[in-house]
A and B are shown apart, each in its own frame.
Chain A
């Protein structure tokens, strides 16, 4: 019986390590953690597998049921976190494909964590004018830092969120999820975009908005809800006056993993 329990522990440790290695080398790593930590997960996964080998050789230690249960629960969570999103979300413009490991959008994910060069094309040209590509978090940081000023031209992208208060102010929220370390610490960031008809935007739709920085119109207190985030940070001084809004078919990584203070921004 003791040998069987030991074998179960070895299998659980090996499976845990294998999951970590597979995840770290896949392009789906970003669903859980900031890709800059992929190497750490890879090393840890290999170490856990080595510990499994150690557990195989260790014939003297008495294994506790709760220890095995802990490993089993983790594996159950890992499998569920890969399977459940596929039941919930249709692959669409606003959500990445979950559970699968293929997507294209410039983000290479996994060990090569980073972005392809053209993904950081610093500006977007529309009607002969250059709009600086920037993400919502950088826009807010720029406002605080004083390097985002009224009249500047920017392009932002994100998932649309609406509230009655924003609708009344003629605004829509272009939202992203900013992940510093892992999904558990994700914070929502919002760029407010002034549009003619907020009602024409479907919440959850991925949009790319080009616009000019203008003072934010009066808006009542409102709570903007973002998938995976408890709170959302938004600008309280500026909004973008939309000059062009598109709803491209989005196939990239919707989350943000870095905030830059200069071009090219982590658009």
Chain B
């Protein structure tokens, strides 16, 4: 029992320590977007066609790699800046895998096996794009549940709002932009980042605690139960990925260690973890409307499972 507690506390602490820098970065990027980037600038670089928007979202991670720990605050800010869900949602789902760092680590863990990398990307891109197309028609703010953090925290006397601003955005008065001196902007970014970090951090901590518990108390022989059939193998490793909440940059090494499992199950493990895990589920439920949050959980889970089983039947 004590040994399991050691594993649980060490694993949970390690997950938070590992994720904290990325959550900080995500909070900072989100704050910078909120305070410094005008809405029009973002919208200018987004294609008009639906498929173009989805493609930009899916592959944006190649230019702006973000792991799953830090991406939710960034996406929330993008949506508040009226970036279409067709771009933001696929970016959120795909970027933790469709980025150079994770591709390289997967390649390394599987000793240069390009087919594993290709399958992993496929199993991530398909549900990410599907969610983009499905949610694309909604207005950016319609998918968000949580109200933006109140920006009234910095001195209003220092803030001069743009005359043409639209009310209803993130600031206290309801506007989205702040025209102020560098000091006021720096303070705004600092306050924003702190608020976002503390707000998102609680989900990270509680998710890490549960994930550490799974690692510690999961009966050692339980995995052997799943090896028997492709359907069980794919489902079993997917459940494990969701429960363990391993970083997308490291999960390939864990997947490679499941020697007795088929490749399809390992790929499903690596595909679902960065999209849905115990850190992300509470974040989704807190940031997005319940319907959207459920879609973000269910669509990738079902899609990856079906594709994983098909791959397993196909001999992978």
Residues of A within 8 A of B (CB): 9, 13, 20, 23, 31-33, 37, 40-41, 43-44, 47-48, 50-55, 57-64, 66-67, 69-71, 73-74, 77-78, 80-81, 84-85, 87-88, 141, 144-145, 178, 180-185, 187-188, 223, 225, 227-234, 236
Chain B residues near A44 (CB-CB < 8 A): 20-21, 24
- Say whether B157 faces chain A, with CB atoms less than 8 Å apart: no
Tell me whether B205 and A74 are in contact (CB under 8 A): yes
A88–B152 Cα gap in the complex (Å)? 50
Check A48–B20 contact: CB distance below 8 A. Answer: yes
Known: A51-B190, A51-B194, A184-B245. A60 touches B153 (CB 8 A): yes
How far, in whole Å, are A231 and B224 apart by their CA atoms in the complex?
A: 10
**Closest Cβ–Cβ distance, residue A224 to chain B (whole Å):** 10
**Contact yes or no, A183 B11, CB < 8 A:** yes
A9 to B5 Cα, complex, angstroms: 27
B-side interface residues toward A, CB under 8 Å? 2-3, 5-7, 9-18, 20-21, 24, 105, 109, 111, 149-150, 152-154, 172, 187, 190-191, 193-195, 197-199, 201-206, 208-209, 211-212, 215, 218, 220-221, 223-224, 240, 244-247, 249-251, 253-254, 256-259
Q: Is the CB of B14 within 8 A of A184?
A: yes
With A44-B24, A223-B224 known as contacts, the answer to whether A185 contacts B153 (CB < 8 A) is no
Q: Given A40-B21, A77-B16, A182-B17, do A58 and B191 touch, yes or no (CB 8 Å)? A: yes
Q: In the complex, are the beta carbons of B150 and A231 less than 8 A apart?
A: no
CB neighbours (8 Å) of A52 from chain B are 194
For B202, the chain A residues whose CB sits under 8 A away are 66-67, 69-71
Query: Pick the contact of B18 from A33, A61, A81 — CB < 8 Å?
Result: A33
- Interface pair B247/A181, CB less than 8 Å apart: yes
What are 7 residue pairs bridging A and B, where the CB atoms are less than 8 Å apart in the complex?
A51-B197, A61-B153, A70-B203, A88-B6, A184-B12, A184-B211, A231-B258
Residues of B within 8 A of A231 (CB): 223, 254, 257-259
In angstroms, Cα B195 to Cα A51, docked, is: 9
Main secondary structure of the interface of B (DSSP, over half): helix
Question: Which residues of chain B come closer than 8 Å to A81, judged between CB atoms?
Answer: 6, 9-10, 12-13
* B149→A61 contact, CB < 8 A: yes
User: A71: which of B6, B17, B198, B224 is its contact (CB, 8 Å)?
Assistant: B198
A9 and B13 contact, CB distance less than 8 A: no
Cβ–Cβ contact A73 & B209, under 8 A: yes
Given contacts A48-B24, A85-B6, 10 further A-B contacts (CB under 8 A): A13-B194, A20-B17, A31-B10, A58-B194, A88-B6, A181-B249, A184-B11, A185-B250, A227-B3, A231-B259
**A55 to B193 CA separation, bound complex (whole angstroms):** 10
**Chain A nearest CB: distance from B93 CB in Å?**
21
Nearest residue (CB) in A for B5 is A84
Which residues on the B side are within 8 Å of A227 (C-beta)?
3, 7
